[in-house]
Structure 1
Amino acid sequence: MAICTFNARTLASEACIEDLMMQARKIKYDVIGLTETRRHRPLHAVFETGEALFLGTCDSTGVGGVGVLVNTHLAMNIDSYESLTTRIGRLRLRRCGSTPALTVFVVYAPTSSYDDEELEAFYMDMEKLYREDHTFFKVIVGDFNAKIGPRRTTEELYIGTHGMEWNEQGERPSEFIMSTHTIHGNSQFQKPSHSRWTWESPGGQFHNEIDPIIVIRKFCLTDVADVPNAWRERAAKFRKRSPKIVVNWDHFASLASLWEDSVNDNIDEEYDRLVEHLHNCARKVESLQVTRRLSSKTLELIRQRGIARATGNHQQTSELAKLCREAIKEDLKEKRAAVMDEAAEAGKSIRKARRSFANYKSKMTFLCRPDGTVTASRRAMEKVIYDFYSDLFDSHVYMPTCHLRQDGYVVPSVLPSEIRHAITSMRNGTAPGPDGIKAQHLKSLPPVIVKTLARLFTRCGTCRNAKCPLREKLARPCCCIRREIQTTLAITAQFACSL
């Protein structure tokens, strides 16, 4: 597992977040601890590509703020993230397969310009929060604004022999390491000097190692190294974004109308043949659409910035970085305006258009229990939600079992208009059922398939066999709240048969 730390300088704007995500996708990482975010509002988001971003707030003066960026393959392992203070954040990952349970603390220590009382209060809070957490594996990353050099005495067993240099601010974090019996990871591995520094002065004259990696157990640490800068051209392979799927609905309706309505003695086989026909039509009309949020001119500026940084041209890097920020901000502004204009001309919802422009969705991080306490654990939140809706939709009234009449009563046929009414009442964007057919596909069905559905549902309703294969198939996805709102062919069939 690769755990990184990065001083972002600021993540207060959408352009800064866009730049961060673009550069993060060029390196191999699992978790990135972010410091100095300088945000006045928290952000908990999951991007379209699966990354989870949690950003806390800064203090009233605009200083501080921490957060984490979790890669796609670890997003499902997240148990909770909490911004404990404006300078300390905690990410908890639950055990999943070979990935152990892990707690990652992200810290941003006060600089040397702050008073000793405030610095001492920070380390007291960090030590208290660290001792209260009982996870077997714990890691502390972030910006300590202090230099810890090599081991000076034999008593400093938890500090390695490979470090750059000490300064006065490094005494307090070394005391924290000695009192908590943690391991200073940076000094455990021998590296060349140009691969150790994590901070560079504006002119490129001075370099410091002020971002330590602190772990609780030495054996779980395999290496600590400076990651090749995300703005360099020789970074890791770029991970392509998952393109969106676009469906030509007119073409889908024309292909679906080629359905041959033939009666089969086995109703289950006929139903499966219809579902397979719809799946084949859907695959033929799907196409991939790659929408770029940034223009080619902006991407070229970002590439030039990486080249300038790799060659050590600090003045050109600073100028290009400023141009990149302005270009990203302008591109996002123009793209947002185009999306809003398109929605206004089409008569669509402006709120939905603004929401669809963002390439992430907000995530709930806290939930209040029935007793009034607040939980940040996802497992606890899932249980609270499950208990709430189970009690809400649970039937507390006894309903007698309904039996089919065995006399000469004839069940009325299901009309195509009833099928069409049930389909048009469905909501777009709902998850499909076991048959995998979405609501948008059902709404584009031609009349010939609607008539076939009405005939199939009528046969299913008049079937006297209690073990009818289609009836057993329709019994599983019966989870609708209202009869008019269905999500799949199978649920629509259940609704039609209950009329």
Structure 2
Amino acid sequence: MEQQLQRFLEKMDEKINNVKDQFSIQVEDLTQKFTNSVTSTIEEKLTPLVEENLKLKKEVTTLKRKTYELERVVRKNNVILHGLEETEENNTQLMELVLNTLNEVGSNGKMENFDKWEISEVYRLGKRGSMKRRPILQPTSLSPRKPEHNKQQNYTPKPNTLPSRLVTVGVRDYHPPKQENSYHSYHNQFIDDDNYKDNALTTVQIASLNVLTLKTDDNLAELTNALRDIKWDILGLSEIRRDGEEILQRSDYLFYYKGEIPGRNGVGFLIKKHLIANVEEFIGISDRIALLNIKLPLYKDIWSVLQIYAPTEKADQETANKFYDDINETIIKYTHKNLIVMGDFNAQTGECQPGEETVLGPHTYGTKRSKNGEKLINLALGNNLTILNSKYKKKTKRKWTWVSPGGTYKNEIDFILTNKPKYFTDANVVNRFNFNTNHRMVRAELRIQKHKNPRPKYNPTKIKRTSQQYEDIVSNLAKKCVNYMKDTNKMEVQDKYNWIENSITSAIKTVREKEQKTKKFSSKTMNLLEERKELISSINSDSKRRRISELSKEINHSIRKDRKQSRMETIERHIIASGGIKKAHKELLNSKRWITKVRDAGGINKSRRVDIKTIATNYYKELYRQEHSELECELDPAVDTDSDIPCVLQREVEKAIETQSSDKAPGPDGIDNEILTKAKEVLAPIFTSLFNDILKTESIPEQWTKSHIILLYKKGDKHNIGNYRPINLMSNIYKTSAKPSTPYSTERSGRH
């Protein structure tokens, strides 16, 4: 009995232990589940808070950095104070002295007081007890401050006498800049003196525009008139619709275009006159792609500017793929280190996608990306190009570049891309451009820095002088040449000629003036242009768009009429003056054609300006080096060829000057025949003495061995250098000397 009871108790204990174990397991499971549930709930609630906290920390860090940069920019200017006695014992006293002085001066000029935090550092220049004088600099404000009184009243504190040492505030400046002299008033037309003294950065304005058509010169005249109101230096053009390939130089710009089908497509460039000399080459790839290689100021590497006109979305896939393949091939073959690709891409980029941050910025127009937009992004990714339109924040109404004919749809389809975005300071859309197109101009600002002492180029041959200006030139020249015999008595021929040439050119420059701008359009045309300009700048509506379209047609018709009237007046004026129209044709032909490309000896076309010059030089060197049969001629037996050549007479020089043709291009010295004719009485005796010295010494000035060679196209293949006729533009003084110096001329042979 006891044994049975014992076994029963053991079984009960075993069951109780099993129940306890199961209960413990269940409790652990429930605890784990509850813990996981609570933890996940807490994490779910806390995650947004943590992320927000991290975001706020980043923003605080960014704001601190920006605040530091702004304070650094505000404190970066130097202020040099003069006349402060050195009574301070420590830097704190020096700081108080400077603050009191600045606030005293500011109170006199009604300026806001300076705070201590605005001054980063204060110290004295030079060693203690030094008496060295330093240049006086006009104090500049530490931060932008506007006086409370009228802006027209400028307060300029008078500097005191120089102290033993100078006190500076701001960034250390051990060598303050020297005071620069003001430039000549003529120089001010080209350079801002204030910016120039500070060696300030300036920009080159590079723009692109779809003009819809420049098929006629009337359209081109309308475009150039509209460009007067905006800033631009290089303008890429799409849809020019001209056939062929030409480079035309006008008075204010250089015009290049490339077209293959009359009335369709076509691309090109307009280059402002101050950059014409920097052009390296134009390469016309097709009627949708053109390349400009140009050397911009202070950039060692050449800039390649690619202007394009892309197929529309409706074009077939093969055409679109070939277009982008041609762009990639052009970039590989012809472009340089610095690259710009711009034009009408007919593409919508939409918003930036992951992985596109290097090519597309956050400031885009619209969210939809088209097929052409996808191709554009791939082009940018493949060539490391950044779309500048998306880099700078602008208002939405200043982003779109194309509007549908009815004004319903607006898109951003014109872009400027570059592989050097750090060199650019801005990219924007020109909102109010007075030209007949439904595209808006896209313009980017490229940062450059001007040279310290540029000299503006002056071409005296491009200015039509008045009779009063000629009188002033002759008067100035007469004053300079009074002491010619005394000043040049012991000079060699070369030095005498230099003296004469410098005297003439300096007399011309003393009376130079701005080139008079001719009135291109009538008052009626200008009124129509002004009316359209006001409509473009106002709020769009259907009635205004219809009126703009009507005005554009009237403007085109009026410009055509004005140009015709101007041509007739020019022809009539020259017929009355000379009885012919040869000079009228020369005046109306107001452009010079450049050679687009020539073939070298190996049959390869070269388009770089340097290569074209080299090919032409080598061709004519080889041509003149060839042996030719000598022509024999018999001299008049009455002429004694062994006798001495008689001296040149003054009346011969006067006759030579009088018989020189007018309206002829001068040589490298820029001295035209009109100057020689007007100053005949002053120059004739001087030229007589000079020409006789040349005959005696048998040496000529170095300037007479140089000339400008102009190549004129005759006929045949334009890419063959042999189809061009060279013309030398030599010094007119040399031409004058050649007439009386011919020993066997009719007049001189009679004196033998």
Task: Tell me if both proteins adopt one fold, taking TM over 0.5 as the criterion.
Answer: yes
2:27 maps to 1:27: no
Query: Letter of the aligned partner of 1:419 in structure 2?
Result: V
Offset at residue 220 of structure 1 (A): 3.2
Deviations along 1:181-221, one digit per CA (max 9) or x if unpaired, are: 32222222222101100011223332110011121234334
Contact 2:251 2:273 in 1 (8 A): no
Counterparts in 2 of 1:172 and 1:246: CA distance versus 1, 3 Å: same
- How large is the RMSD of aligned CA atoms in angstroms? 3.9
Counterparts in 2 of 1:19 and 1:138: CA distance versus 1, 3 Å: same
2:526 aligned partner: 299
Deviations along 1:248-292, one digit per CA (max 9) or x if unpaired, are: 399759967989999945445987579747965896799964421
1:54 aligned partner: 256
1:346 aligned partner: 577
**CA distance in structure 2 between the partners assigned to 1:325 and 1:116 by the alignment:** 37
**CA distance in structure 1 between the partners assigned to 2:409 and 2:473 by the alignment:** 68
Contact 1:79 1:92 in 2 (8 A): yes
Offset at residue 72 of structure 1 (A): 2.2
Contact 1:425 1:486 in 2 (8 A): no
The secondary structure found in structure 2 opposite 1:317 is helix
1:403 aligned partner: none
Structure with larger Rg: 2
**CA distance in structure 2 between the partners assigned to 1:133 and 1:88 by the alignment:** 12
Query: Letter of the aligned partner of 2:597 in structure 1?
Result: F
Offset at residue 122 of structure 1 (A): 1.3
1:203 aligned partner: 406
**CA distance in structure 1 between the partners assigned to 2:321 and 2:284 by the alignment:** 19
Counterparts in 2 of 1:18 and 1:74: CA distance versus 1, 3 Å: same
**CA distance in structure 2 between the partners assigned to 1:452 and 1:498 by the alignment:** 19
Contact 1:426 1:486 in 2 (8 A): no
Contact 1:53 1:68 in 2 (8 A): yes
The secondary structure found in structure 1 opposite 2:464 is strand
Offset at residue 125 of structure 1 (A): 1.5
2:364 maps to 1:163: yes
**CA distance in structure 2 between the partners assigned to 1:133 and 1:449 by the alignment:** 53
Query: Letter of the aligned partner of 1:380 in structure 2?
Result: D
2:566 aligned partner: 335
**CA distance in structure 1 between the partners assigned to 2:379 and 2:473 by the alignment:** 70
Contact 1:55 1:65 in 2 (8 A): yes
- Which has the higher mean CA deviation after the structures are superposed, 266-275 or 199-208? 266-275
Q: 1:326 aligns with which of 545, 554, 557?
A: 557
The secondary structure found in structure 1 opposite 2:415 is coil
The secondary structure found in structure 1 opposite 2:354 is coil
Counterparts in 2 of 1:347 and 1:274: CA distance versus 1, 3 Å: closer
Counterparts in 2 of 1:285 and 1:163: CA distance versus 1, 3 Å: closer
1:431 aligned partner: 666
2:605 maps to 1:374: yes
2:687 maps to 1:453: yes
**CA distance in structure 2 between the partners assigned to 1:254 and 1:187 by the alignment:** 56
Offset at residue 157 of structure 1 (A): 4.4
2:352 maps to 1:151: yes
Query: Letter of the aligned partner of 2:731 in structure 1?
Result: T
1:224 aligned partner: 427
1:405 aligned partner: none
**CA distance in structure 1 between the partners assigned to 2:225 and 2:363 by the alignment:** 33
Counterparts in 2 of 1:89 and 1:493: CA distance versus 1, 3 Å: same
Counterparts in 2 of 1:138 and 1:410: CA distance versus 1, 3 Å: same
Counterparts in 2 of 1:213 and 1:73: CA distance versus 1, 3 Å: same
**CA distance in structure 2 between the partners assigned to 1:279 and 1:157 by the alignment:** 55
1:116 aligned partner: 317
2:202 maps to 1:11: no
2:151 aligned partner: none
2:647 aligned partner: 413
Contact 1:422 1:485 in 2 (8 A): no
The secondary structure found in structure 2 opposite 1:356 is helix
Q: What is the total number of aligned residue pairs between the two structures?
A: 470
The secondary structure found in structure 1 opposite 2:465 is strand
1:63 aligned partner: 264
Offset at residue 134 of structure 1 (A): 4.6
**CA distance in structure 2 between the partners assigned to 1:274 and 1:175 by the alignment:** 60
Deviations along 1:425-466, one digit per CA (max 9) or x if unpaired, are: 5674333455x5322322445467535533443355446xx9
The secondary structure found in structure 1 opposite 2:283 is strand
**CA distance in structure 1 between the partners assigned to 2:648 and 2:382 by the alignment:** 76
Higher RCO (C-alpha under 8 Å, 6+ residues apart):
1
Counterparts in 2 of 1:497 and 1:317: CA distance versus 1, 3 Å: same
2:535 maps to 1:308: yes
2:733 maps to 1:489: yes
Once the two structures are superposed, the pairs formed by residues 283-294 of structure 1 within 5 Å of their partners are 289-294=516-521
2:242 maps to 1:39: yes
**CA distance in structure 2 between the partners assigned to 1:375 and 1:453 by the alignment:** 45
Contact 1:42 1:57 in 2 (8 A): yes
Counterparts in 2 of 1:457 and 1:325: CA distance versus 1, 3 Å: same
Once the two structures are superposed, the pairs formed by residues 258-269 of structure 1 within 5 Å of their partners are 264=485, 266-267=488-489
Deviations along 1:7-45, one digit per CA (max 9) or x if unpaired, are: 101000111101111112221122111001111244421
Once the two structures are superposed, the pairs formed by residues 264-283 of structure 1 within 5 Å of their partners are 264=485, 266-267=488-489, 272=499, 276=503, 280=507
- Which has the higher mean CA deviation after the structures are superposed, 105-114 or 174-183? 174-183
2:19 aligned partner: none
Query: Letter of the aligned partner of 1:59 in structure 2?
Result: I
1:245 aligned partner: 464
The secondary structure found in structure 1 opposite 2:379 is helix
Query: Letter of the aligned partner of 1:245 in structure 2?
Result: K
Contact 2:351 2:369 in 1 (8 A): no
Query: Letter of the aligned partner of 1:335 in structure 2?
Result: S
The secondary structure found in structure 2 opposite 1:11 is coil
2:587 maps to 1:386: no
The secondary structure found in structure 1 opposite 2:311 is coil
Deviations along 1:345-371, one digit per CA (max 9) or x if unpaired, are: 334653542342243322222122233
The secondary structure found in structure 2 opposite 1:48 is coil
- Which has the higher mean CA deviation after the structures are superposed, 254-263 or 202-211? 254-263
- Which has the higher mean CA deviation after the structures are superposed, 97-106 or 79-88? 97-106
Contact 1:433 1:488 in 2 (8 A): no
- Which has the higher mean CA deviation after the structures are superposed, 112-121 or 487-496? 487-496
Deviations along 1:291-325, one digit per CA (max 9) or x if unpaired, are: 21211221121111111100133232222222111
The secondary structure found in structure 2 opposite 1:3 is strand
**CA distance in structure 1 between the partners assigned to 2:545 and 2:604 by the alignment:** 51
**CA distance in structure 1 between the partners assigned to 2:405 and 2:250 by the alignment:** 33
Using structure 2 for the length normalisation, give the TM-score.
0.55
**CA distance in structure 2 between the partners assigned to 1:254 and 1:318 by the alignment:** 51
Query: Letter of the aligned partner of 1:71 in structure 2?
Result: K
- Which has the higher mean CA deviation after the structures are superposed, 207-216 or 129-138? 129-138
Offset at residue 419 of structure 1 (A): 2.8
Contact 2:363 2:390 in 1 (8 A): yes
Counterparts in 2 of 1:277 and 1:372: CA distance versus 1, 3 Å: closer
The secondary structure found in structure 2 opposite 1:213 is strand
**CA distance in structure 1 between the partners assigned to 2:555 and 2:533 by the alignment:** 11
Contact 1:107 1:140 in 2 (8 A): yes
**CA distance in structure 1 between the partners assigned to 2:702 and 2:340 by the alignment:** 49
Counterparts in 2 of 1:160 and 1:96: CA distance versus 1, 3 Å: closer
Counterparts in 2 of 1:393 and 1:211: CA distance versus 1, 3 Å: same
Query: Letter of the aligned partner of 1:195 in structure 2?
Result: R
Contact 1:140 1:215 in 2 (8 A): yes
Offset at residue 76 of structure 1 (A): 1.3
Query: Letter of the aligned partner of 2:218 in structure 1?
Result: A
